[in-house]
């Protein structure tokens, strides 16, 4: 017969085999990252460790991947050095950074590894990982203090008023409230996507406000001028309406006129170049004419009687100033002729000489340099002018003569 092991010995050997298999797995499960297998150890420097202690969990994209194994002051005392131990097989890209987060209002902290890349290059065991100060959280006491300061700025009754108004505005209108919330979410997402652009715009706007503050007086003066200008535009609204109604037709007529005389327009401008100096030298006479011509036209209307113009012709007899010594020119001679500017016509007794040649001239071109009188022809002027009646007056005189004849007068 073969020898058999005692039952107690067999059970003891079975216990040892099971223990040898289960105990390493249990130790690795309980100790976590401190268990068996290769680990990834990373170091980071924080300006404030926020009370991190050994055993604080480390997450990657919200998944637990390790823990904090050490948290102590740096050798110079200017920062806090922490050591992270991550499980075997965890890959962290070199652009990643650590951020201390709080999982609840109770202040339970964890270390979150933030990365935007899932590809290499990756950090190796013993490397340092970035921990930007601006990515770290604000302490709870600071948050509560700022919230208290904000709430202190809200006046009593404002919140109640806002709540009452919102309740009145959205009472029974759940669709509008849902749309408002949905649009707010869309707006927040758009702002988040365009955060760099909005930040740049706000920065530029701050620079603009600084420049405006340096030129407050000029800005206020400009705003007053703009307000005055807009007031004038508002007061002249009927004029603008009239111009908007009639300008298209006027522009069409002007365009047609320019198109019609396109070939001669250059000649007109050239003639204006020749005429402009003459008009410019006689600006005083032109100004006087523009003032007196309208009055003359009004006076001319005063002679109209019964839809007929009543003219009175005054006839006088006197000398006539003539010039007969102008040399004759051959037919076809078109060469320029130089006028004799030294001749003048002597005025008659008690009469001033009229006409364009005797009108006042600019640039000292008056009659003071005239020294050669023209020849005078005709009898001397009579002392009293003769009144020459017109046809209507002659007819009236004839009728009065016939009336006197019939009555024996």
pLDDT at 377: 58
Whole-number mean pLDDT of the chain? 76
Residue scoring higher pLDDT (256 or 141): 256
Residue 370, pLDDT above cutoff 80: no
Residues 50 and 117 in one domain: yes
Position 243 in a domain? no
Residue 170 lies in a domain: no
Query: Each residue of 184-213: pLDDT tens digit?
Result: 888 888 888 888 788 778 877 878 877 777
Residue 157 lies in a domain: no
Domain region containing 218: 175-235
Beta strands in 49-120 (DSSP E): 57-60, 63-73, 80-86, 97-102, 109-114
Q: Rounded distance, CA 24 to CA 299, Å?
A: 130
Does residue 126 have a pLDDT over 70? yes
pLDDT band at 182 (very low <50, low <70, confident <90, very high): confident
Candidate from 82-86, 168-172, 265-269, 295-299 with smallest mean pLDDT = 168-172
Residue pair 191/183 in contact by the 8 Å Cβ criterion: no
Residue 364 pLDDT more than 50?
yes
Asked whether the predicted pLDDT for residue 343 surpasses 80, the reply is no
Please identify, among 235, 262, 280, the residue that sits at the C-terminal boundary of a domain: 235
The yes-or-no verdict on residue 103 having pLDDT over 70 is no
Query: What backbone torsions phi and psi does residue 340 show, to the nearest 5 degrees?
Result: -90, 105
pLDDT in the model for residue 1 = 47
62 and 110 together in one domain: yes
Higher pLDDT, 15 or 324: 15
- In terms of Cβ atoms closer than 10 Å to its own Cβ (0-12, 13-18, 19+), residue 285 is middle
Q: How far apart are CA 84 and CA 32, in angstroms?
A: 13
* Domain endpoint, select from 185, 215, 235: 235
CA dist list (Å): 150 to 60, 145, 381:
34, 9, 108
Residue 60 has pLDDT above 80, yes or no: yes
What is the pLDDT confidence band of residue 380, given thresholds at 50, 70 and 90?
Answer: low
Torsion of CA 303, 306, 309, 314, to 10 degrees: -70
Provide the number of structural domains found in the chain: 2
What is the reported pLDDT for 14? 74
Is residue 98 scored above 50 in pLDDT?
Answer: yes
Q: Residues 137, 93: one domain?
A: yes
Judgement on whether residues 198 and 107 belong to the same structural domain of the protein: no
Residue 212 lies in a domain: yes
Tokens of 274: 């020749």
Report the predicted TM-score, pTM, of the whole model to 2 decimal places: 0.32
Give the Cβ contact number of residue 250 at 10 Å.
10
- Beta-carbon contacts of 164 under 8 Å, excluding residues fewer than 6 positions away, are none
Task: Kindly report which listed range (52-66, 220-234, 304-318) carries the lowest average pLDDT score.
Answer: 304-318
Using the structure block, give the residue that is written with the tokens 């990365």: 115
User: Residue 71 pLDDT more than 70?
Assistant: yes
Of 215, 235, 255, which closes a domain?
Answer: 235
Identify the pLDDT of residue 406: 76
Residues 135 and 180 in one domain: no
DSSP 240-303: HHHHHHHHHHHHHHHHHHHHHTTTTHHHHHHHHHHHHHHHHHTHHHHHHHHHHHHHHHHHHHTT
CB within 8 A of 107, min separation 6: which ones?
Answer: 140
Q: Which two tokens stand for residue 389?
A: 């009646």
How far is it, in rounded angstroms, from Cα 314 to Cα 386? 6
At residue 28, does pLDDT exceed 50? yes
Residues 128, 181, single domain; the answer is no
The strand pair at 97-102 and 372-373 is best described as unpaired
Same domain? 185 vs 134: no
Least confident among 23-32, 51-60, 187-196, 248-257: 23-32
81 with 74: CB under 8 angstroms? yes
Segment 329-358 mean pLDDT: 69
104 shares its domain with 179:
no
3-state secondary structure of 71: strand
């Amino acid at each position: 017969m073969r020898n058999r092991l005692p039952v107690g010995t067999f059970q003891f050997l079975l216990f040892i085999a099971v223990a040898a298999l289960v105990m390493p797995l249990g130790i690795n499960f309980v100790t976590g990252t401190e268990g068996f297998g290769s680990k990834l150890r990373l170091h980071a420097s924080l300006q404030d460790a926020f009370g991190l202690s050994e055993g604080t969990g480390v997450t990657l994209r919200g998944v637990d991947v390790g823990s904090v194994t050490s948290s102590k002051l740096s050798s110079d005392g200017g920062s806090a050095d922490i050591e992270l131990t991550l499980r075997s097989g965890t890959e962290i890209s070199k652009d990643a950074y650590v951020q201390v987060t709080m999982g609840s209002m109770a202040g339970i902290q964890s270390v979150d590894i933030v990365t935007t890349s899932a590809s290499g290059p990756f950090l190796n065991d013993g490397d340092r990982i970035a921990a930007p100060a601006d990515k770290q959280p604000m302490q709870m006491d600071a948050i509560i203090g700022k919230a208290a300061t904000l709430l202190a700025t809200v006046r009593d009754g404002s919140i109640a008023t806002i709540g009452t108004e919102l309740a009145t505005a959205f009472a029974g209108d759940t669709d509008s409230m849902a749309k408002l919330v949905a649009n707010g979410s869309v707006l927040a997402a758009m702002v988040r996507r365009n955060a760099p652009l909005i930040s740049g715009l706000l920065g530029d706007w701050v620079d603009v406000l600084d420049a405006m503050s340096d030129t407050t007086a000029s800005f206020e003066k400009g705003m007053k001028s703009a307000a005055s200008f807009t007031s004038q535009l508002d007061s002249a609204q009927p004029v603008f309406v009239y111009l908007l109604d009639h300008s298209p037709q006027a522009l069409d007529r002007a365009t047609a006129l320019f198109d019609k005389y396109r070939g001669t327009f250059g000649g007109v401008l050239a003639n204006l170049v020749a005429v402009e100096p003459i008009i410019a030298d006689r600006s005083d006479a032109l100004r006087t004419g523009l003032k007196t011509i309208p009055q003359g036209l009004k006076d001319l209307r005063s002679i109209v009687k019964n839809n007929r113009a009543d003219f009175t012709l005054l006839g006088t007899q006197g000398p006539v100033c003539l010039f007969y010594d102008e040399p004759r020119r051959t037919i076809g001679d078109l060469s320029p002729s130089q006028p004799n500017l030294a001749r003048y016509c002597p005025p008659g007794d008690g009469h001033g000489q009229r006409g364009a040649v005797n009108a006042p001239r600019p640039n000292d071109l008056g009659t003071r340099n005239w020294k050669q009188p023209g020849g005078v022809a005709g009898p001397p002027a009579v002392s009293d002018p003769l009144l020459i009646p017109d046809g209507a007056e002659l007819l009236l005189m004839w009728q009065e003569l016939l009336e006197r004849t019939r009555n024996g007068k």
